[in-house]
Amino acid sequence: MSESSDAENRSNRFDRLPATPAEREVPGRVARSEVLDYWADRYGIPSETFDQKTFWEKGAGKIWVVDGDHPSPIAVEGLGMTCLRTRQEFWKPTTDFVQRFGELATDCVVVLSDDEAARFMSGDEQAVAWDGDWGYLIAARETAGDAVPLGVGLYTYGTLDSMVPKGRRR
Amino acid sequence: MGVNPLDRYESLVDDPTAFRAACDRPLPTTVRVNTIKSSAERTRRALDDEGVAYDPVSWADDLLTLPDSSPGDSWAFAHGWLHGQEEVSALPSLALDPQPGETVWCACAAPGSKATHTAALMADQGNVVANDSSLGRLSALRHNAQRLGVTATTVTRADARSYSLNPFAFDAFDRALVDVPCSCEGTVRKNPDVLTEWTMDHVESLAEIQTDILCRAVQATRAGGIVVYSTCTFAPEENEAVLDRVLAAEDCRVVEWDAPAGLETDPGITAWAGERYDPQVERATRVYPHRNDTGGFFCARLEVGA
Ligand SMILES: C[S@@+](CC[C@H](N)C(=O)[O-])C[C@H]1O[C@@H](n2cnc3c(N)ncnc32)[C@H](O)[C@@H]1O
C-alpha cells in the first residue's frame, strides 16, 4: 500500500471505509462506525441519517459520503461529496457537508447575526460569544425561522476562525 | 460577414418579428431552488426575510426569476439553496422524470446544472453518473455538485461516444440525459457571439458527434429505459436530423411527453432543407424565445427497445 500523499492525491481511486475498526486493513484508515460516532457524539447528528450512505477515502484522510453502494475500490473522478478530513488530531468537517447535513445537528452549532455571518463568509476571524466546546463548530444563521448552516468555524480563545474555502467566500 | 443563422428559422416560427425581437433582448435572470437542501416554499420565505425580490415562473414551482439581483447575491445562495440556471434548461430533467434509487447517465454533464437538477428530482437517492470529456469543465461540475450537496453522484471523464461501464457493478442505465455540445443558437440572448461564430461546417461536425453520443446512450440504457436528447439550438440538422439517424440505427422510439402546463412549445419538424425525417420526431419539443420570454431549446424523450 503506497501511502505517499502526493501519489494518492493524484489518483482517482476511492476505497470504501471498513465497517468497524476490527475490519481495518489499511493502517490509519478510519472506520464507518467511527465516522458515524463522530457526527453523533460531537454534533448530535443521528446515525440513521446515513443508513443509505456509504463513506469512502481518497487520498490520505479525505472522506467522501455517497448515496448507495459501489464496488470498492473504484476509479472515478468523483464519488458523492467530500465530508470530512481525518488522519489529523482534530477531524474537520467540510463546508459542503455541514450545509447538507448540519441542520440535523443539535450540538456545536453557533448561530451568528447577519453581520457576523457576513464576516464569516468573507473568511475572517472574529470574536463571538460561545460557551460550549472548542474546536470545529457549525456556523449558522437564522432564516425562514430556522438556524441554517453556512460552514465550519474553528473556535479557540473566544475567537471563531472561518474555514470557508476561497471558492465559497463572498 | 456571413448570413445571420436566425434568418433560416423565420419560416418555422409563427411570428418571425416577435422571434427576432426576443432574440435581441437580454435574458431574464433565473435561479432554480436546490430542493436537496430546501423546499421552494422555505426558500421563498428566506428571500422575503432578506428582502430579495423574485417572481415565480408560471410553469415550475422551483424556478424563480430575479428582477434586480444576480443569482449569487443572496444569503439563500450562500446556503446552497439556489443555483443560477436558465428556465428552459430545467426541461430535460423534467422530461427524463428520474425516480429515486435509479441509475442515470448524464453523458455531457458539465458544468452540472441538469445533473444536479436530476439528482434533486431523485431526492438525492440513487446514482447520477455525471460524465464530461473536458477536465476544466468537470472541475466546475464538481464544485457545483458539492455546493448543492449532491451525494447521489459519480463523476467520470470520458468521451461519451465510446463510454465504458467498466468501473461499475451495473451493466445498463435506467435513464440517460444527453445534453450535447451544440451550436448554441438558443443562447443568443446571453451570448450574441454565437451568431457571428456560426458556420454550416461546424453544425455538420457537431451533428456527427451528437448522433454518436445519442447512439451510445441508447445502447447503454436498459430495454424500456428512457433517454432524453436536448440541445440549446434551433438548427434542425442538430435536432430532428440527429433523432432521425438514431431512430434508423438503434432500437428506440420517440415518445410523447407533456411539457409543463403554462409553457408554450412547438412540435418537432418533419421536413427541412429538402430532407424528410421520421414522423416520430414531431413528438419532440421546440421552445422559441418569444413564446415564453426564455432562451431557445430542443428536447425529445426516447424509449429504448422492447
Ligand atoms: C451543452 S454542454 C452541457 C451542459 C450541462 N448538461 C449542464 O446542464 O450544465 C455540452 C458538454 O459536452 C461536453 N462534450 C463535448 N464533447 C463530448 C464528448 N465527446 N463526450 C463527452 N462530453 C462531451 C462539453 O465539454 C460540454 O461540457
ipTM of the complex: 0.94
H/E element holding B271? strand B271-272
pLDDT at A105: 98
Per-residue pLDDT at B238 exceeds 50:
yes
pLDDT at B306: 67
- B126 has a chain A CB within 8 A of its CB: yes
Q: Do both B179 and B99 map to the same domain?
A: yes
Residue B156 CA to ligand 1 center (angstroms) comes to: 12
CATH number of the CATH domain containing B194:
3.40.50.150
Q: Do both B114 and B169 map to the same domain?
A: yes
Residue B100 CA to ligand 1 center (angstroms) comes to: 24
Q: Please confirm, yes or no, whether B184 is among the known catalytic residues.
A: no
Per-residue pLDDT at A7 exceeds 70:
no
CATH number of the CATH domain containing B44:
3.30.70.1170
Task: Report the candidate in A143, A109, A145 with the shortest Cα–Cα distance to residue A128.
Answer: A109
Q: Do both B115 and B224 map to the same domain?
A: yes
Chain B residue numbers with beta carbons less than 8 Å from the beta carbon of A170 are 72, 78
Q: How many domains does chain B have?
A: 2
CA distance B69 to chain A (A): 15
Range of the domain at B154: 5-26+87-304
Over residues B136-162, the mean pLDDT reads 97
Ligand 1: which residue has its CA nearest to atom 25?
B134
Q: Do both B137 and B282 map to the same domain?
A: yes
Q: Do both B113 and B36 map to the same domain?
A: no
Beta strands in B51-187 (DSSP E): 55-57, 60-65, 82-84, 103-106, 127-132, 153-157, 173-179
- Size of the A and B interface in Cβ pairs below 8 Å: 101
Over residues A55-64, the mean pLDDT reads 95
CA distance B145 to chain A (A): 8
DSSP state, residue B269: P
Residue B55 CA to ligand 1 center (angstroms) comes to: 30
Residue A154: exposure state from Cβ atoms within 10 A (0-12, 13-18, ≥19): middle
Residue B107 CA to ligand 1 center (angstroms) comes to: 7
How far is residue B161's CA from residue B210's CA, in Å, rounded to a whole number? 9
CB contact (8 A) between residue A141 and residue B138: no
Over residues B238-263, the mean pLDDT reads 97
How far is residue B194's CA from residue A35's CA, in Å, rounded to a whole number? 49
Of the residues B85, B113, B131, the one at which a domain ends: B85
CB contact (8 A) between residue A141 and residue B75: yes
Task: Write down the mean pLDDT value for chain A.
Answer: 93
Over residues B122-140, the mean pLDDT reads 97
Q: Do both B274 and B299 map to the same domain?
A: yes
Chain A residue numbers with beta carbons less than 8 Å from the beta carbon of B78 are 121, 150, 168, 170
Q: List all residues whose CB is within 6 A of at least one atom of ligand 1.
A: B 89, 108-114, 132-134, 137, 159-161, 179, 181, 209
pLDDT at A5: 42
Beta strands in A10-168 (DSSP E): 13-16, 53-57, 62-67, 74-75, 78-79, 81-85, 92-93, 109-112, 125-127, 135-143, 146-156, 159-162
H/E element holding B191? none
Over residues B214-219, the mean pLDDT reads 98
Per-residue pLDDT at A3 exceeds 70:
no
Nearest to B167 among A65, A74, A80 (CB): A74
Over residues B238-250, the mean pLDDT reads 98
Share above pLDDT 70 across residues of chain B, in percent, rounded to a whole number: 99
pLDDT at A11: 72
Share above pLDDT 90 across residues of chain B, in percent, rounded to a whole number: 98
Minimal Cα distance from B101: which residue of A?
A68
Q: Do both B249 and B270 map to the same domain?
A: yes
Given the residues B23, B106, B232, B299, the one annotated as active site: B232
Q: Do both B211 and B238 map to the same domain?
A: yes
| pTM of the model as a whole | 0.96
C-alpha distance from residue B204 to each of A38, A129, B162, B273 (Å):
56, 64, 20, 14
Q: Do both B19 and B168 map to the same domain?
A: yes
Mutate to test the interface with A, among B137, B154, B157 (most CBs of A within 10 A): B154
Chain A residue numbers with beta carbons less than 8 Å from the beta carbon of B147 are 96, 99, 168
The x, y and z cell numbers of residue B73, run together, are 447575491
Residue A2: band (very low, low, confident or very high) from pLDDT cuts 50, 70, 90: very low
Per-residue pLDDT at A6 exceeds 50:
no
- B136 has a chain A CB within 8 A of its CB: no
Chain A residue numbers with beta carbons less than 8 Å from the beta carbon of B149 are 81, 96, 99-100
> Hey, what long-range contacts does B223-226 have (CB within 8 A, 24 or more apart)?
B223/B304, B223/B305, B223/B306, B224/B303, B224/B304, B224/B305, B224/B306, B225/B172, B225/B173, B225/B174, B225/B175, B225/B176, B225/B303, B225/B304, B226/B96, B226/B97, B226/B174, B226/B175, B226/B176, B226/B301, B226/B302, B226/B303, B226/B304
CB contact (8 A) between residue A96 and residue B149: yes
Q: Do both B35 and B125 map to the same domain?
A: no
Over residues A105-134, the mean pLDDT reads 97
Residue with cell 435574458: B27
pLDDT at B3: 77
Q: Do both B110 and B38 map to the same domain?
A: no
Q: Do both B135 and B71 map to the same domain?
A: no
* Least confident residue range of A8-17, B177-186, B197-206: A8-17
Residue A9: band (very low, low, confident or very high) from pLDDT cuts 50, 70, 90: very low
pLDDT at B74: 97
Over residues B37-56, the mean pLDDT reads 97
